[in-house]
Amino acid sequence: MGPALVQHLEGSERAKERLEVILETIAGQLTIEEACQQLGIKPAMLHQLRTEVLEAGLARLEPRPLGRPQQQTPAEELQLAALQRRVEELESELKIAAVREEIARVMPRRADADPPGKKTNHP
């Protein structure tokens, strides 16, 4: 059946028509000019669509691990949430420390200043 197999797939009629025409050009049943005329597009667009269709098909055929992807258990999800909160806390503390360091650099203590709370005898 070749490109006509497209009609048994789910999708809009417009998408099915475009895919069928693209497959017909690949199979040599239609020329690029005929395909462009049927779809009402320019050759550059047809080449782009054909490349995208082939790349999507190729990507889907790449080897993948067998079986279903592992799902996280509720315990793992709780641990992940706790770790994310801890990271946020640490990032916040780091920002505060950076601000304190910047303040300390901008406002250095005077060496001749009296320590706080010490009574002095000078006027």
- Chain segment 47-64, per-residue pLDDT in tens: 999 999 999 999 999 998
Judgement on whether residues 56 and 97 belong to the same structural domain of the protein: no
Judgement on whether residues 41 and 82 belong to the same structural domain of the protein: no
- Mean pLDDT (the chain) is 88
Judgement on whether residues 14 and 47 belong to the same structural domain of the protein: yes
Does 36 fall in a domain? yes
Does 23 fall in a domain? yes
Q: Whole-angstrom Cα distance, residue 38 to residue 53?
A: 18
Does 120 fall in a domain? no
Residue 110 phi, psi dihedral angles, 5° rounding: -80, 135
Q: Comparing 70 with 103, which gets the higher pLDDT?
A: 103
Does 122 fall in a domain? no
Does 119 fall in a domain? no
Q: Comparing 28 with 114, which gets the higher pLDDT?
A: 28
Judgement on whether residues 6 and 49 belong to the same structural domain of the protein: yes
Judgement on whether residues 78 and 56 belong to the same structural domain of the protein: no
Does 98 fall in a domain? yes
pLDDT at 118 over 80: no
Convert the pLDDT of each residue in 6-25 to its tens digit.
999 999 999 999 999 999 99
Q: How many domains does the chain have?
A: 2
Residue span of the structural domain in which 6 resides: 2-60
Burial class (CB in 10 A: 0-12, 13-18, 19+), 16: middle
Q: Whole-angstrom Cα distance, residue 110 to residue 44?
A: 73
Does 116 fall in a domain? no
Convert the pLDDT of each residue in 89-113 to its tens digit.
999 999 999 999 888 888 866 655 5
Full-model pTM = 0.53
Judgement on whether residues 42 and 91 belong to the same structural domain of the protein: no
Does 47 fall in a domain? yes
